[in-house]
Amino acid sequence: MRAVLEAHGLVRSFGAEVAVAGIDLTVAPGEIRAIVGLNGAGKTTLMRLMLGMLRPDRGRALVLGNDAYAAPPSTWRVVGHLIETPFAYPELTVRENLMAGALLHGVPEDEVERSVASAMADFELEQWEQRRAAHLSLGNRQRLGLATALVHLPSIVVLDEPANALDPAGVVFVRDLLQDFAERGAAVLVSSHHFDQLARVAHRITVLHRGREVGSLDPHGFELEQRFFDLVYAADRELGKARR
């Protein structure tokens, strides 16, 4: 099936530091594409490029065939994303944040209440409905950020470390959430450090290191963590040789 999210030779530097170095990547409807890497590997920068939040130095990022940096508003109505930290208006309640998220994502006004009620139930936020976001625990802020990003049931989902602030039950919840969206036909791009949980749902796992794709992991393979570090150490050795 044709990809709806694409990266073609993406390059982005910050001064002398190359954050993303020629990445090619595609995500098709119904697919969960996972990105793993150490801190500073370029995962977040790559996702920002693919969402048009950054302009690439070279290469192109496409969303539904549109250049991500210049895509029209209609494109972003079918995209849901959470990059780095969950966003919420601290002075608004959980319900008010979800309502704002639904409206900003183009949910028709007569469907907002239903969408918000469904999101609160799905993300287990009903008991916090009237609590201001500023007074939520870290884990519940993460749930609210995810719910706000996905309240409009997008067909393209981009999540950067979505389970970062969650307990083990929350990690399982996110795993099931990703699988549910993929089964609905959504294209899912996700970064995570939870190898074991990713392996249960990902169709492809790409390893990034120092801004480069250095290999892939078999989601059904064994000892994923060991294989990951083997790829990272091998890439470091090759980089060391290239510098000499």
Burial (CB < 10 A; 0-12, 13-18, 19+), residue 183, is exposed
CA distance 206 to 150: 24
Q: What is the pLDDT of residues 128-166, one digit of tens each?
A: 999 999 999 999 999 999 999 999 999 999 999 998 888
- Tell me the two tokens of residue 157: 């989902």
Q: What angle do CA 11, 238, 196 make, to 5 degrees?
A: 75
pLDDT value of position 138: 92
The enclosing H or E element of 140 equals helix 138-150
Long-range contacts of 22-25 (CB under 8 A, 24+ apart): 22/58, 22/59, 22/212, 23/59, 23/208, 23/211, 23/212, 23/213, 24/213, 25/50, 25/189, 25/206, 25/213
Q: What is the pLDDT of residues 70-93, one digit of tens each?
A: 999 999 999 999 998 888 999 999
pLDDT value of position 168: 86
The enclosing H or E element of 62 equals strand 58-63
Order across the sheet with 5-14: list the strands: 17-27, 5-14, 58-63, 66-67
In this prediction, residues 194-217 reach a mean pLDDT of 89
Nearest in space to 31 (alpha carbons), one of 155, 151, 153: 155
Domains located in the chain, CATH noted = 1-78+156-162+183-244 (3.40.50.300), 86-153 (no CATH)
In this prediction, residues 189-214 reach a mean pLDDT of 88
Please state at what angle helix 94-104 crosses helix 138-150, rounded to 10 degrees.
Answer: 30
Burial (CB < 10 A; 0-12, 13-18, 19+), residue 121, is exposed
**pLDDT-derived band at 196, boundaries 50, 70, 90:** confident
Beta bridge partners of 191: 35, 160
CA distance 187 to 189: 7
Q: What residue type is 113 in one-letter code?
A: E
Q: What residue type is 99 in one-letter code?
A: M
pTM of the predicted protein model: 0.93
In this prediction, residues 223-229 reach a mean pLDDT of 90
pLDDT at 243 over 70: no
pLDDT at 120 over 60: yes
pLDDT at 244 over 70: no
pLDDT value of position 242: 59
Torsion of CA 41, 6, 4, 86, to 10 degrees: 30
Beta bridge partners of 10: 23
